[in-house]
Structure formats: structure tokens, C-alpha cells
């Protein structure tokens, strides 16, 4: 019998508890009077989520950053978090202090509180974050319309390049090496830009890209019943040059690498210039990479020189 992957596990659980369809967002909403309680949860397991060389405080910080990224993609400021810890027997007090330092850094960077949690003994370090916030509405995956422009909030390729450096000990120019490693150890979702663009109602649909650009494009297109045409790769020349040095496929790095923690969003034509001005004023990237089309579920790359289908690939646990 075939073992279920992450998506199949979710389907089975939802079907068993009486949910007829998969939960389509990375956050959940619970209506409370005139607002909504916004909730996101994410689990970090050191063995599978923390590459070699990552410090304990960086692991702790990243465990919270994953939920911050989900909130950013929905245009919501996180307010509080519950954190549950699975701690290995023999863990030292110094390591626990380092966990606390990582949690503190994330709290100060993104302005939320840790209000509680739980602790237990496990075979590996496990950190589960449950993040909370409030919002009258969120930006879903389901609002993209044909003619909307497609944007991302940062460059792609550095994190998968960083993983290759760590896992395969590849050698690339020092400046690119540092940026790639930093992108893995210190991911930084652009929450401030997301909130600013939410405040001007710029996004028609958005999604967090941490599982990979390609799978995020497919998920956004599925939810909105549209197609997507990408015409520009969101990549710096130094990543292209480094990929050539070590014989890596640039398109695979960009579309299928993952771990970017950027936002992929559609913006209506009439909001594009205003959105660009907001990003420019903040000094943060907002990169136009394509458009939304009416050809449902057709996800392609076409820059006038190259044309290919963007396959539904990305990070899926247990696959």
C-alpha cells in the first residue's frame, strides 16, 4: 500500500472528521463579533527543517518566522503566539537559553508576544508555533482575475543555493555564498510591506511561497480558477552566475527550490502604480514577474525567447 504524503494525510484527516474539502489557506479564521481571530500553526523538526550549521537561536527564530510569513501573505499583523517544545533528553541549559534568544529576536522583529505553550520530551528538537492575530478580512488565494499583474516581494534562488552549499559543499563567489547561507539561516518575510499594501487594498490574491514558487503559482491559480503566465524570473545575476559555476539549473532553483518566505500576489491594473510607489518609498522589493490569464490552470513561462509549462513541483513532506 502506498504511504500517504502530506497532502494525502490532510485529505484523509479532513474526510474522517467530516470536512468535505481541503482547507485552502495557510491560516484559519474564527468569527468573533465584528472581527476575525486569525490563526496559523507550523511545526519545525530539527532533523528535517534545520540544515547543518544552523545555530539553536536561528532554529528557534525560524520556527516563528514560518507563521509570520503566513500572516504576511494574508495582510495580518500577528499579535501573539503559543509555542510548544519537544526537547531531547540531555539538552543543556545553555541550549534552552539559546532557544529563548531566538524566540525573543522574532518577537522584537515582528512585534508580537509569546503568551504560553507546552513542553515535552522527544527524540529530536521539535518546535510548534500557533500564531494569533485579528483582522476584519484577509487576502485569500482566491481573488485573482484575468488581467491582474503578478508580483513577488523578493528575489528567488538564494535559499536553495544555500542548501546546495551546505549539503554538497559547493564553492561559489564569497558574496553570493554569504547571501545564500544567510537566506537559509535568517529568513526575513517582508511583513511591513505586506501590511502597507494591504492598507491600500493592493492585493487581489496572495500566497506565501515557502514551499516553492511553482507550487505556489499552481495553488493560487487553482483557488482563483485562473491561469498564470510568468514572463520574468525574479533572480539576481549573481545567482545565475553561481548556478553556472556549479552546473545547477537556474529555472529549477527559482521555481522548485523553496524556503524563500516571500509573497506571491496578484494586483489589479489600477493598483499597480500605487503599489510600486509604496514599495519604492519603503525601499523594499516588489517585483513584477507576469500576469493572470483566463486559461484556467495553465501555468507557463513565456519571455518571448523561452516557453515552457511550469510543473506543479515543490516541497511536500513525506513525498
| Tens-digit pLDDT profile for residues 124-139 | 999 999 999 999 888 9
Contacts within 8 Å (CB) and 24+ apart, 104-112: 105/57, 105/61, 106/60, 106/61, 106/64, 106/65, 106/68, 107/64, 109/188, 110/64, 110/65, 110/68, 110/78, 110/191, 111/77, 111/78, 112/77, 112/78, 112/79, 112/80, 112/81
pTM value is 0.90
Residue 315 pLDDT grade (very low, low, confident, very high; cuts 50, 70, 90): low
pLDDT digits (tens, 9 = 90+) for 161-217: 999 999 888 889 999 999 999 999 999 999 999 999 999 999 999 999 998 999 999
Residue 285 and residue 170 share a domain: yes
Residue 224 and residue 115 share a domain: no
Report the share of the chain in percent with pLDDT over 90: 82
Domain count along the chain: 2
Per-residue model confidence (pLDDT) at position 6: 67
Residue 274 pLDDT grade (very low, low, confident, very high; cuts 50, 70, 90): very high
pLDDT digits (tens, 9 = 90+) for 71-84: 999 999 999 999 99
Give the domain extent around 256: 149-309
Give the CATH number of the domain where residue 188 resides: 3.90.650.10
Residue 117 and residue 69 share a domain: yes
Residue 278 and residue 238 share a domain: yes
Q: Is the pLDDT of residue 319 over 50?
A: no
Higher pLDDT among residues 301 and 30, named by residue: 301
Per-residue model confidence (pLDDT) at position 317: 44
Residue 276 and residue 222 share a domain: yes
Residue 295 and residue 187 share a domain: yes
Q: Is residue 141 part of a domain?
A: no
Q: Give yes or no for a contact between 77 and 133, defined as CB atoms under 8 angstroms apart.
A: yes
Q: Is residue 289 part of a domain?
A: yes
Mean pLDDT of the chain: 92
pLDDT digits (tens, 9 = 90+) for 92-123: 999 999 999 999 999 999 999 999 999 999 99
Q: Is the pLDDT of residue 225 over 60?
A: yes
Amino acid at each position: 500500500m502506498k504511504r500517504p504524503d502530506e497532502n494525502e494525510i490532510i485529505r484523509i484527516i479532513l474526510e474522517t472528521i467530516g470536512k468535505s474539502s481541503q482547507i485552502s489557506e495557510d491560516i484559519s479564521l474564527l468569527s468573533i463579533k465584528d472581527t476575525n481571530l486569525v490563526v496559523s500553526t507550523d511545526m519545525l523538526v530539527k532533523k528535517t527543517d534545520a540544515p547543518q550549521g544552523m545555530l539553536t537561536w536561528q532554529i528557534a527564530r525560524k520556527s516563528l518566522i514560518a507563521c509570520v510569513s503566513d500572516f504576511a501573505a494574508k495582510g495580518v499583523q500577528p499579535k501573539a503566539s503559543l509555542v510548544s517544545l519537544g526537547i531531547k533528553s540531555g539538552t543543556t541549559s545553555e541550549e534552552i537559553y539559546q532557544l529563548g534568544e531566538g524566540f525573543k529576536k522574532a518577537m522584537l522583529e515582528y512585534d508580537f508576544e509569546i503568551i504560553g505553550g507546552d513542553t515535552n520530551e522527544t527524540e529530536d528538537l521539535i518546535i510548534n508555533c500557533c500564531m494569533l492575530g485579528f483582522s476584519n478580512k484577509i487576502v485569500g488565494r482566491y481573488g485573482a482575475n484575468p488581467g491582474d499583474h503578478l508580483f513577488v516581494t523578493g528575489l528567488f534562488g538564494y535559499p536553495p543555493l544555500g542548501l546546495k552549499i551546505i549539503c554538497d559543499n559547493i564553492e561559489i563567489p564569497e558574496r553570493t555564498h554569504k547571501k545564500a547561507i544567510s537566506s537559509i539561516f535568517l529568513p526575513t518575510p517582508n511583513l511591513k510591506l505586506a501590511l502597507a499594501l494591504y492598507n491600500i487594498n493592493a492585493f487581489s490574491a496572495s500566497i506565501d511561497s515557502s514551499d516553492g514558487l511553482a507550487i505556489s503559482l499552481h495553488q493560487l491559480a487553482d483557488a482563483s480558477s485562473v491561469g498564470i503566465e510568468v514572463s520574468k524570473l525574479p533572480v539576481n545575476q549573481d545567482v545565475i552566475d553561481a548556478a553556472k559555476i556549479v552546473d545547477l539549473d537556474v529555472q529549477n532553483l527559482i521555481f522548485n527550490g523553496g524556503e524563500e518566505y516571500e509573497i506571491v500576489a496578484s494586483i489589479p491594473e489600477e493598483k499597480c502604480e500605487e503599489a510600486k510607489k509604496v514599495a519604492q518609498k519603503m525601499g523594499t522589493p516588489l517585483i513584477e514577474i507576469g500576469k493572470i490569464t483566463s486559461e484556467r490552470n495553465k501555468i507557463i513561462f513565456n519571455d518571448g525567447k523561452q516557453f515552457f509549462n511550469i510543473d506543479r513541483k515543490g516541497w511536500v513532506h513525506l513525498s
